[in-house]
Structure 1
Amino acid sequence: MINERGTTVELRQLAYFAAVADEGGFARAAERLHVGQPAVSQQVRRLERELGVVLFDRSTRHVRLSDAGARLLPEARNVLAAVERTRRVAAGLASRESDVLRLGTGPGPGERFVALLEVLAGRAPRLRVNLTRTSLAERLSGVRAGTLDAAVVRDVVGEPGLELLPAWSDPLIAALPAGHPLADRETLDLADLGDLPVRLAPRRANPPFHTLVTDAFRAAGIDPPAGPPFTRLQETLVDLAHSDPSWTLFYPVGPVPPMPGIAFRELSAPRSTTSLAVRPGPPEPPLRHLLAACAALAGEPFTA
Protein backbone atom coordinates (compact mmCIF):
# COMPACT_ATOMS: atom_id res chain seq x y z
CA MET A 1 0.00 0.00 0.00
CA ILE A 2 2.62 2.57 -1.08
CA ASN A 3 0.66 4.62 -3.44
CA GLU A 4 -2.62 4.98 -5.25
CA ARG A 5 -1.28 3.72 -8.54
CA GLY A 6 0.56 0.55 -7.78
CA THR A 7 -0.73 -2.00 -5.32
CA THR A 8 -3.62 -4.37 -4.81
CA VAL A 9 -2.51 -5.77 -1.45
CA GLU A 10 -5.54 -6.10 0.82
CA LEU A 11 -5.57 -5.27 4.51
CA ARG A 12 -7.10 -8.68 5.18
CA GLN A 13 -4.08 -10.34 3.59
CA LEU A 14 -1.69 -8.38 5.81
CA ALA A 15 -3.79 -9.21 8.88
CA TYR A 16 -3.77 -12.94 8.06
CA PHE A 17 0.00 -12.83 7.40
CA ALA A 18 0.61 -11.21 10.81
CA ALA A 19 -1.73 -13.67 12.55
CA VAL A 20 0.06 -16.71 11.12
CA ALA A 21 3.40 -15.22 12.19
CA ASP A 22 2.06 -14.54 15.70
CA GLU A 23 0.45 -17.96 16.16
CA GLY A 24 3.14 -20.01 14.44
CA GLY A 25 0.71 -21.85 12.19
CA PHE A 26 -2.27 -21.53 9.90
CA ALA A 27 -4.69 -23.54 12.04
CA ARG A 28 -4.10 -21.49 15.19
CA ALA A 29 -4.29 -18.25 13.18
CA ALA A 30 -7.63 -19.37 11.74
CA GLU A 31 -8.95 -20.05 15.25
CA ARG A 32 -7.90 -16.60 16.40
CA LEU A 33 -9.46 -14.95 13.35
CA HIS A 34 -12.63 -17.07 13.55
CA VAL A 35 -12.34 -18.19 9.92
CA GLY A 36 -11.55 -21.47 8.21
CA GLN A 37 -7.94 -22.52 7.76
CA PRO A 38 -8.29 -22.71 3.93
CA ALA A 39 -9.26 -19.03 3.87
CA VAL A 40 -6.11 -18.07 5.78
CA SER A 41 -3.89 -20.20 3.55
CA GLN A 42 -5.49 -18.80 0.40
CA GLN A 43 -5.10 -15.16 1.43
CA VAL A 44 -1.46 -15.62 2.48
CA ARG A 45 -0.65 -17.30 -0.84
CA ARG A 46 -2.31 -14.43 -2.69
CA LEU A 47 -0.20 -12.00 -0.71
CA GLU A 48 2.93 -13.94 -1.62
CA ARG A 49 2.00 -13.82 -5.29
CA GLU A 50 1.32 -10.10 -5.08
CA LEU A 51 4.63 -9.35 -3.36
CA GLY A 52 6.64 -11.85 -5.40
CA VAL A 53 8.23 -13.45 -2.32
CA VAL A 54 7.71 -16.50 -0.09
CA LEU A 55 6.69 -15.37 3.40
CA PHE A 56 6.79 -18.70 5.24
CA ASP A 57 8.90 -21.84 5.17
CA ARG A 58 6.27 -24.57 5.33
CA SER A 59 6.61 -28.23 6.24
CA THR A 60 4.32 -30.86 7.73
CA ARG A 61 5.78 -30.16 11.16
CA HIS A 62 6.20 -26.40 11.35
CA VAL A 63 5.52 -23.02 9.76
CA ARG A 64 8.27 -20.45 10.15
CA LEU A 65 8.84 -17.00 8.70
CA SER A 66 11.18 -16.96 5.72
CA ASP A 67 13.92 -14.32 5.58
CA ALA A 68 11.68 -12.21 3.34
CA GLY A 69 8.73 -12.73 5.68
CA ALA A 70 10.77 -11.63 8.69
CA ARG A 71 11.80 -8.44 6.86
CA LEU A 72 8.29 -7.63 5.67
CA LEU A 73 6.40 -8.43 8.88
CA PRO A 74 7.28 -5.10 10.62
CA GLU A 75 6.08 -3.21 7.56
CA ALA A 76 2.81 -5.13 7.54
CA ARG A 77 2.35 -4.30 11.22
CA ASN A 78 3.03 -0.61 10.49
CA VAL A 79 0.33 -0.56 7.81
CA LEU A 80 -2.19 -2.32 10.05
CA ALA A 81 -1.38 0.02 12.94
CA ALA A 82 -1.82 3.11 10.72
CA VAL A 83 -5.19 1.85 9.50
CA GLU A 84 -6.30 1.18 13.06
CA ARG A 85 -5.19 4.67 14.08
CA THR A 86 -7.21 6.16 11.22
CA ARG A 87 -10.28 4.17 12.23
CA ARG A 88 -9.87 5.07 15.90
CA VAL A 89 -9.47 8.79 15.23
CA ALA A 90 -12.33 8.84 12.72
CA ALA A 91 -14.55 6.84 15.06
CA GLY A 92 -13.78 9.22 17.89
CA LEU A 93 -14.75 12.16 15.72
CA ALA A 94 -17.89 10.46 14.44
CA SER A 95 -19.09 9.55 17.93
CA ARG A 96 -19.48 13.16 18.98
CA GLU A 97 -22.47 15.34 18.32
CA SER A 98 -21.88 18.53 16.34
CA ASP A 99 -21.21 19.77 12.82
CA VAL A 100 -20.28 17.29 10.09
CA LEU A 101 -17.30 17.58 7.75
CA ARG A 102 -17.75 15.55 4.55
CA LEU A 103 -14.24 14.78 3.35
CA GLY A 104 -13.17 12.78 0.27
CA THR A 105 -9.88 10.88 0.12
CA GLY A 106 -8.15 8.33 -2.07
CA PRO A 107 -7.63 4.68 -1.11
CA GLY A 108 -4.25 5.33 0.54
CA PRO A 109 -4.15 8.84 2.05
CA GLY A 110 -1.02 8.12 4.12
CA GLU A 111 0.45 8.99 7.50
CA ARG A 112 0.19 12.75 7.10
CA PHE A 113 -3.56 12.41 6.68
CA VAL A 114 -3.78 10.45 9.93
CA ALA A 115 -1.79 13.22 11.62
CA LEU A 116 -4.20 15.79 10.17
CA LEU A 117 -7.18 13.92 11.63
CA GLU A 118 -5.50 13.84 15.03
CA VAL A 119 -4.84 17.60 14.94
CA LEU A 120 -8.44 18.16 13.82
CA ALA A 121 -9.74 16.04 16.69
CA GLY A 122 -7.76 18.12 19.17
CA ARG A 123 -8.90 21.45 17.75
CA ALA A 124 -12.55 20.56 17.10
CA PRO A 125 -13.52 17.72 19.47
CA ARG A 126 -17.23 18.04 18.63
CA LEU A 127 -16.74 17.87 14.86
CA ARG A 128 -17.91 14.68 13.15
CA VAL A 129 -15.93 13.64 10.06
CA ASN A 130 -17.55 11.55 7.34
CA LEU A 131 -14.80 10.03 5.18
CA THR A 132 -15.51 8.95 1.61
CA ARG A 133 -12.80 6.98 -0.18
CA THR A 134 -13.28 7.17 -3.92
CA SER A 135 -11.58 7.99 -7.22
CA LEU A 136 -10.08 11.39 -7.99
CA ALA A 137 -12.79 12.26 -10.52
CA GLU A 138 -15.57 11.34 -8.07
CA ARG A 139 -13.94 13.36 -5.30
CA LEU A 140 -13.73 16.47 -7.45
CA SER A 141 -17.27 16.09 -8.77
CA GLY A 142 -18.49 15.58 -5.20
CA VAL A 143 -16.98 18.91 -4.12
CA ARG A 144 -18.47 20.67 -7.14
CA ALA A 145 -21.90 19.15 -6.45
CA GLY A 146 -21.75 20.05 -2.75
CA THR A 147 -21.95 16.45 -1.52
CA LEU A 148 -18.38 16.83 -0.18
CA ASP A 149 -17.02 19.82 1.71
CA ALA A 150 -13.45 19.13 0.60
CA ALA A 151 -11.35 16.50 -1.15
CA VAL A 152 -7.77 15.48 -0.51
CA VAL A 153 -5.98 15.38 -3.89
CA ARG A 154 -2.40 14.89 -5.05
CA ASP A 155 -0.55 16.83 -7.75
CA VAL A 156 -3.70 18.41 -9.16
CA VAL A 157 -2.70 21.79 -10.59
CA GLY A 158 -5.99 23.38 -11.64
CA GLU A 159 -9.65 22.41 -11.62
CA PRO A 160 -12.40 24.65 -13.10
CA GLY A 161 -14.73 25.98 -10.44
CA LEU A 162 -12.62 24.80 -7.51
CA GLU A 163 -9.87 26.20 -5.31
CA LEU A 164 -6.81 24.07 -4.56
CA LEU A 165 -5.26 24.84 -1.18
CA PRO A 166 -1.82 23.22 -0.71
CA ALA A 167 -1.65 21.22 2.53
CA TRP A 168 1.77 19.50 2.42
CA SER A 169 4.35 18.13 0.00
CA ASP A 170 6.52 15.03 -0.11
CA PRO A 171 9.71 14.18 -1.99
CA LEU A 172 9.43 11.62 -4.74
CA ILE A 173 11.29 8.34 -4.31
CA ALA A 174 13.38 6.79 -7.08
CA ALA A 175 13.80 3.01 -7.09
CA LEU A 176 16.78 1.63 -8.99
CA PRO A 177 19.01 -1.47 -8.88
CA ALA A 178 21.07 -1.54 -5.69
CA GLY A 179 24.21 -2.25 -7.72
CA HIS A 180 23.85 0.78 -10.00
CA PRO A 181 26.52 3.50 -9.46
CA LEU A 182 23.82 6.11 -8.77
CA ALA A 183 22.65 4.05 -5.77
CA ASP A 184 25.74 5.28 -3.88
CA ARG A 185 24.23 8.77 -3.63
CA GLU A 186 21.86 9.78 -0.84
CA THR A 187 19.80 12.09 -3.07
CA LEU A 188 19.39 12.02 -6.84
CA ASP A 189 18.77 14.72 -9.42
CA LEU A 190 16.54 13.89 -12.38
CA ALA A 191 19.34 15.00 -14.70
CA ASP A 192 21.42 12.07 -13.40
CA LEU A 193 18.79 9.58 -14.56
CA GLY A 194 18.24 10.79 -18.10
CA ASP A 195 20.05 7.89 -19.77
CA LEU A 196 18.51 5.13 -17.67
CA PRO A 197 15.25 3.57 -18.95
CA VAL A 198 12.30 4.62 -16.81
CA ARG A 199 9.24 2.55 -15.93
CA LEU A 200 6.36 5.01 -15.85
CA ALA A 201 2.70 4.05 -15.60
CA PRO A 202 0.50 5.29 -18.48
CA ARG A 203 -1.14 8.66 -18.03
CA ARG A 204 -4.61 7.15 -17.65
CA ALA A 205 -3.51 5.39 -14.44
CA ASN A 206 -2.85 8.67 -12.60
CA PRO A 207 -3.03 11.78 -14.85
CA PRO A 208 -1.84 14.36 -12.25
CA PHE A 209 1.20 12.30 -11.26
CA HIS A 210 2.07 11.52 -14.88
CA THR A 211 1.90 15.23 -15.74
CA LEU A 212 4.05 16.13 -12.71
CA VAL A 213 6.75 13.65 -13.77
CA THR A 214 6.81 14.43 -17.49
CA ASP A 215 6.88 18.18 -16.82
CA ALA A 216 9.79 17.61 -14.43
CA PHE A 217 11.63 15.62 -17.10
CA ARG A 218 11.28 18.55 -19.51
CA ALA A 219 12.41 21.04 -16.87
CA ALA A 220 15.48 18.91 -16.17
CA GLY A 221 16.25 18.66 -19.89
CA ILE A 222 15.97 14.87 -20.06
CA ASP A 223 13.93 12.39 -22.05
CA PRO A 224 14.62 8.97 -20.48
CA PRO A 225 14.10 5.98 -22.75
CA ALA A 226 11.01 3.94 -21.94
CA GLY A 227 11.74 0.88 -19.85
CA PRO A 228 9.61 -2.24 -19.44
CA PRO A 229 5.93 -1.60 -18.65
CA PHE A 230 4.98 -0.41 -15.17
CA THR A 231 2.29 -2.72 -13.79
CA ARG A 232 1.70 -2.83 -10.03
CA LEU A 233 4.39 -1.26 -7.88
CA GLN A 234 5.45 -4.41 -6.01
CA GLU A 235 5.49 -6.43 -9.21
CA THR A 236 7.48 -3.72 -10.98
CA LEU A 237 10.05 -3.55 -8.18
CA VAL A 238 10.56 -7.31 -8.18
CA ASP A 239 11.10 -7.29 -11.96
CA LEU A 240 13.36 -4.23 -11.73
CA ALA A 241 15.64 -6.07 -9.30
CA HIS A 242 16.19 -8.96 -11.73
CA SER A 243 16.21 -7.27 -15.16
CA ASP A 244 18.45 -4.94 -17.15
CA PRO A 245 19.05 -1.64 -15.31
CA SER A 246 16.04 0.68 -15.22
CA TRP A 247 14.27 2.81 -12.63
CA THR A 248 10.89 4.00 -11.50
CA LEU A 249 9.57 6.66 -9.14
CA PHE A 250 6.63 7.10 -6.80
CA TYR A 251 5.39 9.14 -3.87
CA PRO A 252 5.33 7.35 -0.50
CA VAL A 253 2.20 7.14 1.62
CA GLY A 254 3.95 5.24 4.42
CA PRO A 255 7.32 3.65 5.22
CA VAL A 256 9.04 2.32 2.11
CA PRO A 257 9.23 -1.48 2.46
CA PRO A 258 12.61 -3.20 2.00
CA MET A 259 13.06 -4.90 -1.33
CA PRO A 260 16.12 -7.09 -2.00
CA GLY A 261 18.20 -5.76 -4.88
CA ILE A 262 16.51 -2.32 -4.91
CA ALA A 263 17.83 1.01 -3.63
CA PHE A 264 15.34 3.75 -2.73
CA ARG A 265 16.63 7.32 -3.00
CA GLU A 266 14.91 10.69 -2.62
CA LEU A 267 14.77 12.92 -5.66
CA SER A 268 15.81 16.55 -5.17
CA ALA A 269 12.87 17.62 -7.37
CA PRO A 270 9.99 17.64 -8.03
CA ARG A 271 7.87 17.23 -4.93
CA SER A 272 4.40 15.71 -4.76
CA THR A 273 1.90 18.24 -3.40
CA THR A 274 -1.23 17.26 -1.50
CA SER A 275 -3.99 19.86 -1.61
CA LEU A 276 -7.53 20.37 -0.41
CA ALA A 277 -9.98 20.91 -3.25
CA VAL A 278 -12.80 23.19 -2.06
CA ARG A 279 -15.51 25.39 -3.54
CA PRO A 280 -14.65 29.11 -3.79
CA GLY A 281 -16.00 31.48 -1.18
CA PRO A 282 -15.98 31.79 2.60
CA PRO A 283 -15.69 28.36 4.22
CA GLU A 284 -18.44 26.97 6.42
CA PRO A 285 -17.46 26.16 10.05
CA PRO A 286 -16.63 22.45 9.43
CA LEU A 287 -14.29 23.37 6.59
CA ARG A 288 -12.77 26.20 8.62
CA HIS A 289 -11.84 23.64 11.28
CA LEU A 290 -10.13 21.50 8.63
CA LEU A 291 -8.22 24.45 7.16
CA ALA A 292 -7.12 25.54 10.63
CA ALA A 293 -5.90 21.99 11.35
CA CYS A 294 -3.89 22.00 8.09
CA ALA A 295 -2.28 25.30 9.07
CA ALA A 296 -1.50 23.99 12.55
CA LEU A 297 0.04 20.83 11.06
CA ALA A 298 2.29 23.01 8.88
CA GLY A 299 3.12 25.34 11.79
CA GLU A 300 1.52 28.30 10.03
CA PRO A 301 -1.11 30.84 11.18
CA PHE A 302 -4.65 30.32 9.94
CA THR A 303 -5.98 33.36 8.06
CA ALA A 304 -9.05 32.09 6.14
Structure 2
Amino acid sequence: MELRQLQYFVVVAEEGGFSRAAERLHIVQAAVSQQIARLERELGVILFDRTTRQVRLSSVGELLLPEARAVLAAAHRTRQVAVDIAAGKEGILRLGAIQGPGDRIHRLLNDLAAIAPTLQVRLHRLSVAERLASVRSGELDAAVVRALTEAPQLELLPVWSDPLFIALPIGHPLAAEPVLRVEQLAGLPLRLAPRDHNPPFHDLIVGIIREAGAEPLLGPPFTAIGSSTPSWTVFYQVGDLPPMPRVAIRPLAAPTLITSLAVPSGPPGPALRYLLQAIAGTDPL
Protein backbone atom coordinates (compact mmCIF):
# COMPACT_ATOMS: atom_id res chain seq x y z
CA MET A 1 0.00 0.00 0.00
CA GLU A 2 1.32 3.42 -0.97
CA LEU A 3 0.35 6.82 0.33
CA ARG A 4 -0.49 7.98 -3.18
CA GLN A 5 -3.03 5.16 -3.48
CA LEU A 6 -4.73 6.36 -0.32
CA GLN A 7 -4.59 9.93 -1.63
CA TYR A 8 -6.25 8.87 -4.90
CA PHE A 9 -8.89 6.95 -2.94
CA VAL A 10 -9.76 10.02 -0.87
CA VAL A 11 -9.85 12.36 -3.87
CA VAL A 12 -12.09 10.02 -5.91
CA ALA A 13 -14.44 9.78 -2.93
CA GLU A 14 -14.52 13.56 -2.53
CA GLU A 15 -14.95 14.27 -6.24
CA GLY A 16 -17.43 11.48 -6.89
CA GLY A 17 -15.69 10.18 -9.99
CA PHE A 18 -12.39 9.20 -11.58
CA SER A 19 -12.30 11.89 -14.26
CA ARG A 20 -12.84 14.77 -11.83
CA ALA A 21 -10.31 13.23 -9.43
CA ALA A 22 -7.78 13.01 -12.29
CA GLU A 23 -8.33 16.69 -13.07
CA ARG A 24 -7.79 17.65 -9.44
CA LEU A 25 -4.67 15.51 -9.21
CA HIS A 26 -3.37 16.73 -12.58
CA ILE A 27 -2.84 13.21 -13.91
CA VAL A 28 -4.62 11.07 -16.49
CA GLN A 29 -7.75 9.18 -15.51
CA ALA A 30 -6.19 5.82 -16.36
CA ALA A 31 -3.52 6.32 -13.70
CA VAL A 32 -6.15 7.01 -11.04
CA SER A 33 -8.19 3.94 -12.04
CA GLN A 34 -5.07 1.78 -12.07
CA GLN A 35 -3.94 2.79 -8.58
CA ILE A 36 -7.43 2.37 -7.09
CA ALA A 37 -7.65 -1.11 -8.64
CA ARG A 38 -4.26 -2.01 -7.12
CA LEU A 39 -5.36 -0.77 -3.72
CA GLU A 40 -8.52 -2.83 -3.90
CA ARG A 41 -6.52 -5.94 -4.81
CA GLU A 42 -4.06 -5.39 -1.96
CA LEU A 43 -6.84 -4.85 0.57
CA GLY A 44 -9.09 -7.58 -0.87
CA VAL A 45 -12.13 -5.31 -0.89
CA ILE A 46 -14.18 -3.16 -3.30
CA LEU A 47 -13.91 0.51 -2.42
CA PHE A 48 -16.29 1.93 -5.02
CA ASP A 49 -19.53 0.81 -6.60
CA ARG A 50 -19.11 1.65 -10.26
CA THR A 51 -21.84 2.10 -12.85
CA THR A 52 -21.81 3.72 -16.28
CA ARG A 53 -23.30 6.83 -14.74
CA GLN A 54 -21.63 7.25 -11.38
CA VAL A 55 -18.98 6.11 -8.95
CA ARG A 56 -19.82 6.02 -5.29
CA LEU A 57 -18.28 4.58 -2.16
CA SER A 58 -19.12 1.02 -1.28
CA SER A 59 -20.06 0.21 2.29
CA VAL A 60 -16.48 -0.93 2.86
CA GLY A 61 -15.19 2.25 1.25
CA GLU A 62 -17.27 4.37 3.63
CA LEU A 63 -15.67 2.58 6.58
CA LEU A 64 -12.14 2.90 5.23
CA LEU A 65 -12.35 6.54 4.11
CA PRO A 66 -11.84 8.04 7.63
CA GLU A 67 -8.91 5.67 8.18
CA ALA A 68 -7.30 6.71 4.90
CA ARG A 69 -7.71 10.38 5.81
CA ALA A 70 -6.14 9.73 9.22
CA VAL A 71 -3.13 8.01 7.62
CA LEU A 72 -2.64 10.89 5.17
CA ALA A 73 -2.96 13.45 7.99
CA ALA A 74 -0.36 11.55 10.06
CA ALA A 75 1.99 11.45 7.07
CA HIS A 76 1.52 15.20 6.58
CA ARG A 77 2.29 15.86 10.25
CA THR A 78 5.39 13.68 10.02
CA ARG A 79 6.66 15.65 7.03
CA GLN A 80 5.94 18.95 8.78
CA VAL A 81 7.74 17.89 11.95
CA ALA A 82 10.74 16.83 9.86
CA VAL A 83 10.73 20.21 8.10
CA ASP A 84 10.51 22.05 11.44
CA ILE A 85 13.31 19.96 12.92
CA ALA A 86 15.50 20.65 9.89
CA ALA A 87 14.72 24.36 10.31
CA GLY A 88 15.49 24.19 14.02
CA LYS A 89 11.97 25.20 15.10
CA GLU A 90 11.41 21.83 16.71
CA GLY A 91 13.76 19.26 18.11
CA ILE A 92 16.09 19.40 21.09
CA LEU A 93 18.88 21.80 22.01
CA ARG A 94 21.32 20.24 24.48
CA LEU A 95 22.98 23.06 26.39
CA GLY A 96 25.68 22.90 29.02
CA ALA A 97 24.58 25.46 31.60
CA ILE A 98 25.93 27.49 34.47
CA GLN A 99 24.22 29.18 37.38
CA GLY A 100 23.41 32.82 36.68
CA PRO A 101 24.77 35.42 36.94
CA GLY A 102 21.41 36.73 38.09
CA ASP A 103 18.59 35.90 35.69
CA ARG A 104 20.70 36.02 32.52
CA ILE A 105 20.15 32.36 31.63
CA HIS A 106 16.42 32.58 32.33
CA ARG A 107 16.06 35.65 30.12
CA LEU A 108 18.05 33.98 27.36
CA LEU A 109 15.83 30.89 27.46
CA ASN A 110 12.73 33.09 27.42
CA ASP A 111 14.04 34.88 24.32
CA LEU A 112 14.76 31.53 22.70
CA ALA A 113 11.23 30.29 23.49
CA ALA A 114 9.78 33.38 21.83
CA ILE A 115 11.74 32.65 18.64
CA ALA A 116 11.30 28.87 18.57
CA PRO A 117 8.44 27.98 20.95
CA THR A 118 8.44 24.25 20.12
CA LEU A 119 12.19 23.80 20.47
CA GLN A 120 12.96 21.77 23.58
CA VAL A 121 15.96 22.85 25.64
CA ARG A 122 17.71 20.32 27.86
CA LEU A 123 20.09 21.88 30.35
CA HIS A 124 23.07 19.86 31.57
CA ARG A 125 24.89 21.16 34.64
CA LEU A 126 28.42 19.82 34.45
CA SER A 127 31.91 20.94 35.39
CA VAL A 128 33.72 23.19 32.92
CA ALA A 129 35.89 20.33 31.65
CA GLU A 130 32.88 18.04 31.24
CA ARG A 131 30.92 20.72 29.41
CA LEU A 132 33.70 21.31 26.91
CA ALA A 133 34.34 17.60 26.40
CA SER A 134 30.63 17.02 25.79
CA VAL A 135 30.52 19.74 23.10
CA ARG A 136 33.58 18.23 21.41
CA SER A 137 32.03 14.75 21.43
CA GLY A 138 28.66 15.98 20.14
CA GLU A 139 26.79 15.08 23.33
CA LEU A 140 26.02 18.77 23.78
CA ASP A 141 25.21 21.31 21.07
CA ALA A 142 26.81 24.15 23.02
CA ALA A 143 27.94 25.11 26.51
CA VAL A 144 27.94 28.34 28.48
CA VAL A 145 31.33 29.03 30.08
CA ARG A 146 32.81 31.85 32.13
CA ALA A 147 36.27 33.42 32.02
CA LEU A 148 37.50 31.01 29.36
CA THR A 149 39.86 32.50 26.78
CA GLU A 150 40.51 29.44 24.63
CA ALA A 151 39.06 25.99 24.07
CA PRO A 152 40.88 23.71 21.60
CA GLN A 153 38.68 22.42 18.76
CA LEU A 154 35.87 24.76 19.77
CA GLU A 155 34.85 28.35 19.09
CA LEU A 156 34.14 30.75 21.96
CA LEU A 157 31.45 33.30 21.18
CA PRO A 158 31.20 36.13 23.77
CA VAL A 159 27.66 36.35 25.12
CA TRP A 160 27.68 38.91 27.91
CA SER A 161 29.92 40.46 30.55
CA ASP A 162 29.40 40.98 34.26
CA PRO A 163 31.26 43.10 36.84
CA LEU A 164 33.55 41.58 39.42
CA PHE A 165 33.35 42.50 43.09
CA ILE A 166 35.85 42.60 45.90
CA ALA A 167 35.04 41.49 49.45
CA LEU A 168 37.32 42.59 52.30
CA PRO A 169 36.93 43.35 56.01
CA ILE A 170 34.85 46.46 56.67
CA GLY A 171 37.58 47.86 58.93
CA HIS A 172 40.33 47.75 56.31
CA PRO A 173 41.41 51.18 54.94
CA LEU A 174 40.63 50.10 51.36
CA ALA A 175 36.99 49.58 52.35
CA ALA A 176 36.61 53.36 52.18
CA GLU A 177 37.29 53.32 48.44
CA PRO A 178 34.18 53.31 46.19
CA VAL A 179 35.96 51.30 43.47
CA LEU A 180 39.05 49.14 43.82
CA ARG A 181 41.89 48.22 41.46
CA VAL A 182 43.88 45.01 41.59
CA GLU A 183 47.18 46.78 42.24
CA GLN A 184 45.76 48.27 45.44
CA LEU A 185 45.07 44.77 46.76
CA ALA A 186 48.27 43.04 45.68
CA GLY A 187 49.82 43.22 49.18
CA LEU A 188 46.88 41.49 50.87
CA PRO A 189 46.46 37.71 51.02
CA LEU A 190 44.05 36.58 48.31
CA ARG A 191 41.50 33.93 49.21
CA LEU A 192 40.30 31.86 46.25
CA ALA A 193 38.58 28.52 45.95
CA PRO A 194 40.95 25.72 44.92
CA ARG A 195 41.86 25.94 41.25
CA ASP A 196 40.27 22.61 40.37
CA HIS A 197 36.87 24.00 41.45
CA ASN A 198 36.91 26.55 38.63
CA PRO A 199 40.17 26.69 36.67
CA PRO A 200 39.21 29.48 34.21
CA PHE A 201 38.11 31.88 36.95
CA HIS A 202 41.11 31.06 39.16
CA ASP A 203 43.48 31.66 36.24
CA LEU A 204 41.70 34.91 35.34
CA ILE A 205 42.23 36.42 38.80
CA VAL A 206 45.80 35.23 39.13
CA GLY A 207 46.51 36.52 35.62
CA ILE A 208 45.20 40.04 36.20
CA ILE A 209 47.28 40.35 39.38
CA ARG A 210 50.40 39.39 37.47
CA GLU A 211 49.46 41.78 34.66
CA ALA A 212 49.38 44.51 37.32
CA GLY A 213 53.02 43.71 38.09
CA ALA A 214 52.54 41.74 41.30
CA GLU A 215 52.70 38.11 42.33
CA PRO A 216 49.52 36.75 43.95
CA LEU A 217 49.82 36.38 47.71
CA LEU A 218 47.53 33.40 48.22
CA GLY A 219 45.90 33.08 51.62
CA PRO A 220 43.65 30.35 53.02
CA PRO A 221 41.16 28.86 50.52
CA PHE A 222 37.98 30.84 50.13
CA THR A 223 34.88 29.16 51.55
CA ALA A 224 32.49 32.01 52.27
CA ILE A 225 32.36 35.80 52.05
CA GLY A 226 33.13 37.28 55.40
CA SER A 227 36.34 37.53 57.38
CA SER A 228 37.95 39.78 59.95
CA THR A 229 41.45 38.85 58.81
CA PRO A 230 43.32 41.21 56.46
CA SER A 231 42.57 39.37 53.22
CA TRP A 232 40.37 39.79 50.18
CA THR A 233 38.48 37.72 47.67
CA VAL A 234 36.89 38.40 44.32
CA PHE A 235 33.59 37.07 43.08
CA TYR A 236 30.84 37.52 40.52
CA GLN A 237 27.27 37.88 41.64
CA VAL A 238 24.84 35.06 40.83
CA GLY A 239 22.03 36.17 43.12
CA ASP A 240 21.11 38.47 45.96
CA LEU A 241 23.80 38.71 48.61
CA PRO A 242 22.85 38.09 52.25
CA PRO A 243 23.52 40.83 54.83
CA MET A 244 27.21 40.87 55.78
CA PRO A 245 27.78 43.51 58.47
CA ARG A 246 31.55 42.90 58.80
CA VAL A 247 32.28 42.79 55.08
CA ALA A 248 32.70 45.57 52.54
CA ILE A 249 31.69 44.79 48.96
CA ARG A 250 33.25 47.05 46.34
CA PRO A 251 33.27 46.83 42.54
CA LEU A 252 36.53 45.97 40.80
CA ALA A 253 37.50 48.58 38.23
CA ALA A 254 38.67 46.02 35.67
CA PRO A 255 38.35 43.57 34.11
CA THR A 256 34.80 42.34 33.68
CA LEU A 257 33.89 38.66 33.61
CA ILE A 258 33.17 37.44 30.08
CA THR A 259 30.65 34.65 29.60
CA SER A 260 30.94 32.82 26.30
CA LEU A 261 29.17 30.13 24.35
CA ALA A 262 31.43 27.21 23.44
CA VAL A 263 30.29 25.72 20.13
CA PRO A 264 31.76 23.28 17.60
CA SER A 265 33.78 24.83 14.82
CA GLY A 266 31.98 25.28 11.52
CA PRO A 267 28.45 26.32 10.52
CA PRO A 268 25.94 25.98 13.39
CA GLY A 269 23.10 23.50 13.24
CA PRO A 270 19.46 24.66 13.01
CA ALA A 271 18.67 24.61 16.75
CA LEU A 272 21.95 26.36 17.58
CA ARG A 273 21.16 29.08 15.04
CA TYR A 274 18.03 29.95 16.99
CA LEU A 275 20.04 30.11 20.21
CA LEU A 276 22.52 32.47 18.55
CA GLN A 277 19.61 34.58 17.32
CA ALA A 278 18.26 34.78 20.87
CA ILE A 279 21.72 35.76 22.13
CA ALA A 280 21.97 38.50 19.52
CA GLY A 281 18.87 40.03 21.06
CA THR A 282 20.35 40.19 24.56
CA ASP A 283 22.20 43.15 26.01
CA PRO A 284 25.51 43.77 24.23
CA LEU A 285 28.82 43.44 26.06
Shorter chain as normaliser: what TM range? 0.5 to 0.7
* SS of aligned partner of 2:279: helix
Cα contact 2:101–2:239 (8 A) shared by 1 = no
CA 216–165 in structure 1, closer or farther in 2 if over 3 Å, else same: same
Determine the C-alpha separation between the residues in 2 that align with 1:262 and 1:155: 25
Residue 270 (structure 1) shift: 1.8
Partner of 1:253: 238
The structure with the larger Rg is 2
* SS of aligned partner of 1:164: strand
Does residue 214 in structure 1 map to residue 206 in structure 2?
yes
Question: Considering only aligned residues, what root-mean-square deviation do their CA atoms show, in Å?
Answer: 1.8
Cα contact 2:100–2:239 (8 A) shared by 1 = no
Residue 255 (structure 1) shift: 2.3
Determine the C-alpha separation between the residues in 2 that align with 1:103 and 1:214: 29
What letter is aligned with 1:118? Answer: N
The within-5 A match list for 1:83-98 is 98=90
What letter is aligned with 2:215? Answer: D
Residue 113 (structure 1) shift: 1.0
The within-5 A match list for 1:263-274 is 263-274=248-259
Residue 272 (structure 1) shift: 1.3
Does residue 131 in structure 1 map to residue 123 in structure 2?
yes
The within-5 A match list for 1:267-282 is 267-282=252-267
From 166, 176, 181, the equivalent of 1:184 is 176
CA 109–286 in structure 1, closer or farther in 2 if over 3 Å, else same: farther
Deviations 1:110-163 (A, max 9, x none): 421111111111222221111111111111111111111100111111111100
Does residue 152 in structure 1 map to residue 144 in structure 2?
yes
- Structure 1 gaps of 5+ residues are 1-96
The within-5 A match list for 1:12-51 is none
From 109, 115, 120, the equivalent of 2:112 is 120
Determine the C-alpha separation between the residues in 2 that align with 1:179 and 1:123: 50
Residue 226 (structure 1) shift: 2.5
TM-score, normalised with respect to structure 1: 0.61
- Aligned pairs, how many? 197
* SS of aligned partner of 1:270: coil
Cα contact 2:102–2:239 (8 A) shared by 1 = yes
Determine the C-alpha separation between the residues in 1 that align with 2:101 and 2:284: 21
- Structure 2 gaps of 5+ residues are 1-88
Compare 157-166 and 176-185 and name the one that shifted more: 176-185
Residue 187 (structure 1) shift: 1.2
TM-score, normalised with respect to structure 2: 0.65
What letter is aligned with 2:154? Answer: L
Determine the C-alpha separation between the residues in 1 that align with 2:284 and 2:192: 34
CA 139–167 in structure 1, closer or farther in 2 if over 3 Å, else same: same
* SS of aligned partner of 2:274: helix
Cα contact 2:93–2:122 (8 A) shared by 1 = yes
Percent identity of paired positions between Structure 1 and Structure 2: 54
From 194, 214, 238, the equivalent of 1:202 is 194
The within-5 A match list for 1:167-178 is 167-178=159-170
